[in-house]
Amino acid sequence: MLRKSTDHPTKTDAKGAERALIRLQETYQYTGDQLATGELIPGQIPVDKLTAHDFVNIGLNAWEDGNDSAQMWLETGRSTSKSNSITPSLSTPMLQGFEILASIAYQHRQFRKSLEIIHEILTFDPENAKANHLKETIMQDEERNLYNSLCRGDHTAIKSLPSKWAKCQFVHRNNPNLFIQPIKEEVVSLSPPIVLFHDIVTDSEIEHLLTKARNSLTTGGAKINRKDYRTNSVSWIDSERVGDPIWTYLRRIQHYTGLSTDVQHREWIQVANYGIGGHYYPHYDGEDKDNENKTDINDNMGQRIATVLTYLTDVKSGGATVFLHDRKHIQPSKGTAVFWYNYHRNGKLDHRTKHAACPVVMGTKWAANLWVREFGQEFLESAV
């Protein structure tokens, strides 16, 4: 009968050796560079170097024991693997070590570093669940931080339009209806194109809109992965009667935008009311055509190709509309409308149009949303 050999180190032996190295580093405060080069004692011949896999295994051991040095060991393993062009093979603990490093960086709010490590993981394991989940979490956190900064009016976050493009102008677009009273247009952004139309609605028209809206307000809360994604009250109103204040307002939007506002080419006007704390987190007004759960596309009307957001009141504090891509902060001003297209000319969703309504701090905010639909606009000239 063969005897079991005891000449080779066991797993217990390896664990003991790793813990001994952790103890030496902890006691004598060796740096990762010293451990990587083997130069532990100045003037002495370097000891055998540890490999990237050695560092990661020791780091995992330290992590398992709750030792604070785990990060140093794992970091050294990562840097050693990069310098020696060693890939984090899926069959080794190295990938697990990288996952821990990405998580540690995230916990310390080092988002760029965490994303860099996540990229290394996904290069070799695109379906890695932990890495993909952490990546999505970081992107959401970064978006939330930017949203908060823009809402506060943080000048380090807001991006100003270059002076040569920033302009306010009177425009008539060769439309006879606008010769006497042209559009007061202000360019806010070029990417995506966003403009303001000042004095697009009169005080009497605003009062008419608000009176009709107050009679049919319903809670407009939306739940998209969080309970308070949107907190406001909404009402849907319309009028096809020529001369009615709503009809006049819609006709004016048609002249300003160059898009048809006939009832078959648009939705009813959505009037929204935001009280203290009322808000709407970052979102798109349109959807991807490839989205299986799409709700925006209507077989009879097409997509919400454009948005006209009209402020019906001033807001004492808060309540701004912010665009995340071009970092714009637009404070509500009674009678002013924000206009933009939600899609590129090729029909693809314009991801630069993600926007949000910031929480109201003081006062109340009333706004009217008009979404112009795709069909019926094919041969009309764009206003932006």
Residue tagged 């402020």 (tokens): 311
SS3 227: coil
CA distance 75 to 85: 15
> Using an 8 Å Cβ cutoff, are 318 and 362 in contact?
yes
> Using an 8 Å Cβ cutoff, are 271 and 210 in contact?
yes
> Using an 8 Å Cβ cutoff, are 207 and 201 in contact?
no
Which residue type occupies 67? N
Tokens of 169: 């102008």
Which residue type occupies 10? T
Q: What is the bridge-based pairing of β-strands 279-283 and 355-357?
A: antiparallel
pLDDT at 49: 79
pLDDT at 224: 40
CB-based contacts of 266, cutoff 8 Å, min separation 6: 250, 260, 301, 370, 371, 372, 373
Angle at 338 between CA 148 and CA 175, to 5 degrees: 165
| pTM for the structure as a whole | 0.81
pLDDT at 228: 66
Spell out the alpha helix ranges (H) of 297-384.
none
Structural domains in the chain, CATH included, are: 12-152 (1.25.40.10), 168-288+297-373 (2.60.120.620)
Tokens of 13: 């032996």
pLDDT at 2: 46
CA distance 98 to 74: 8
Structure confidence by residue, pLDDT tens digits, 290-344: 655 555 556 678 999 999 999 999 999 999 999 999 999 999 999 999 999 999 9
pLDDT at 187: 95
Residues of the chain with pLDDT under 50: 1-3, 222-226
